[in-house]
Structure 1
Amino acid sequence: MANADYPTASDESQRLAALQALNLLDTGAEKSFDRLTQMAANIFQVPIALVSLIDQDRQWFKSCVGLSAHQTPRDQAFCNYTILDDSIFEVKDTHRDLRFMDNPLVTGEPYIRYYAGTPILSAGYRVATFCLIDHEPRQALDARERDILFALAATVSREIELRTSIRTSLAQIRAPGGAD
């Protein structure tokens, strides 16, 4: 599934199916995710921290600190680049990066100058991101900070898997002939 406006992974259709199977898109806030984004904002001293699910044409924020928007178009999403591999995607100064200097999220609200994000995995697919945003350029994350960001994303991944496991167990219990 190729798109002229942004790059996509070679397994994009399977990734989207895995995302849809989570039943997380357009759901309400959950404390388990919100605690983690608030913790990230405090640890990294950034005004914005997000858990962002990357849907077909948008990024939707399951958890958000410091931003009033609930979603943005995918062709504007820094997180779209984050889900392309398993490492941290970092832009130290958006004004110096040709991919983003004219991005509406850089030239207008929320005036992104720094971005760091890492993928959140589910069923082996990079379905979401955990990201940090600042209004000022920053230095690259050091090794300790990278470890913390990876750990936060892994924690969100475990929360998602736990939620999925509980939903599956409840469905089995409620199914005819299921456990009582």
Structure 2
Amino acid sequence: MTERTVLCVDTADDIETISAAVSGEESLTPVEATSVTQATETVESESVDCVVTEYDLEDGSGLEIVEALREEQPQTPVVLFTGARPGEIDTASFEEMVVEYLNRDLPDAADRLGFVVDDVITHSAQVGFLAPDDEGSRLEALAEYDVDGMPIEESFSRLTDLIASHFDAAVAFIGLIEEEKEDFLACTGADWDSLTREDTICTHSMLQEDVMVVEDINEDKRFANNDKLHNLDIVSYAGANMTTDDGQIIGQVCLIDHEPRQYDESQKQDLQDFADTAMEILDLRQQLLDAKRTEVDA
């Protein structure tokens, strides 16, 4: 069973109650903080799977911790374990965050806390992933490519073979990022068909303009606890955007290794050039397909 780290935040007098309730669940390991400052430092330096916090703290409010999470670990869920009433809480601050409320004054609140935390972590992992602000337009741009109708597999397989050889990488793949998953059009070095958006690193890479490199996922709080990545033996990652002429990012060309790895600026540029080539091949194939259909219609 995967161990899940839970940051427990409360006053010095009450922290033991939260910590004990969390540790009662076999899969949960509590890490304690007794102030907003200490909790904020923790989320900035360590990967956590959930935060359980009192709303009213001696040096501020649980909202400040939520704000720090939004910047550092936006997919991490929060459980407000507090006597403060919902009407007293600025719920607008929780926008785009998974937040559960549990009134600590209820008779069985402490007994239920561990279950609630475990459940909200599982729920967050199932439904949460980052998406660009123009996701609707991006998906419309992707839909303009009839990948199933074009004979592209062999061309892309040759390209991923070349990419893997050029970088001496364990795995090279070309993927298109659909609404809920990333489909791999070609993959050299592994037999991967797709990954869900919440599991693939490309969900994060596509939000970055330049080539994204993760030298070691174990050292990156966004991915350190991603069981799917560990099961695939993914340790290092580099990804470059496939961008349409209209500026929509529809896919990625990526490198995977099973050990930590760095990439210099020249190598990053090479990877981007390969991604641009993949996009050009996709555009050309779509143009040929459109021309063929026009001839048939005529």
Q: TM-score, normalised by structure 1?
A: 0.89
CA distance in 1, matches of 2:258, 2:268: 20
1:107-163 deviation line (CA, Å, top 9, x unaligned) = 21x111100001101242100000000000012x11221121011001001001101
Deviation string 1:21-40 (CA, Å, 9 cap, x unpaired) is 20226977622111111111
Q: Secondary structure at the match of 1:116?
A: strand
CA contact (8 A) 1:25 1:62 kept: no
> Aligned partners of 2:187 and 2:221: how far apart in 1?
26
Q: Using a 3 Å threshold, how does the CA distance of structure 1 residues 83 and 26 change in structure 2: closer, same or farther?
A: farther
SS at structure 2 position matched to 1:76: coil
Cα distance, 1:100–1:23 mapped onto 2, change above 3 Å: same
Aligned counterpart, 1:34: 157
Structure 1: 5+ residue stretches without partners: none
Indicate whether 1:17 and 2:137 are aligned: no
Which position in structure 1 is the counterpart of 2:223?
A: 100
Distance 1:25 1:9, change over 3 A: farther
The aligned runs of 1:1-180 (5 Å cut-off) are 5-24=128-147, 30-108=153-231, 110-124=232-246, 125-139=248-262, 141-175=263-297, 178=298
The structure that is helix-richer by fraction is 2
Structure possessing the higher radius of gyration over alpha carbons: 2
- The RMSD of aligned alpha carbons is 1.9
**What SS does structure 2 have at the residue aligned with 1:75?**
coil
What residue ranges of structure 2 are gaps of 5+ in the alignment? 1-95, 98-126
User: 2:150 touches 2:289 (CA, 8 Å); kept in 1?
Assistant: no
Larger deviation, residues 36-45 vs 16-25: 16-25
Which stretch shifts more, 50-59 or 165-174? 165-174
Give the whole-Å Cα distance in 1 for the aligned partners of 2:264 and 2:240.
14
Equivalent residue letter for 2:141? A
Count of aligned pairs: 173
Query: For the residues of structure 2 that align with 1:27 and 1:78, how far apart are their CA atoms?
Result: 27
2:51 paired residue number:
none
Q: Percent identity?
A: 28
Give, in angstroms, the shift of residue 68 of structure 1. 1.2
Indicate the structure whose relative CO is greater, using CA pairs within 8 Å and at least 6 residues apart. 1
Give the conservation status (yes or no) of the 8 Å contact 1:54–1:60: yes
What one-letter code is carried by the residue in structure 2 that aligns with 1:87?
A: D
4+ runs deviating over 3 angstroms: 25-29
- SS of corresponding position for 2:163: helix
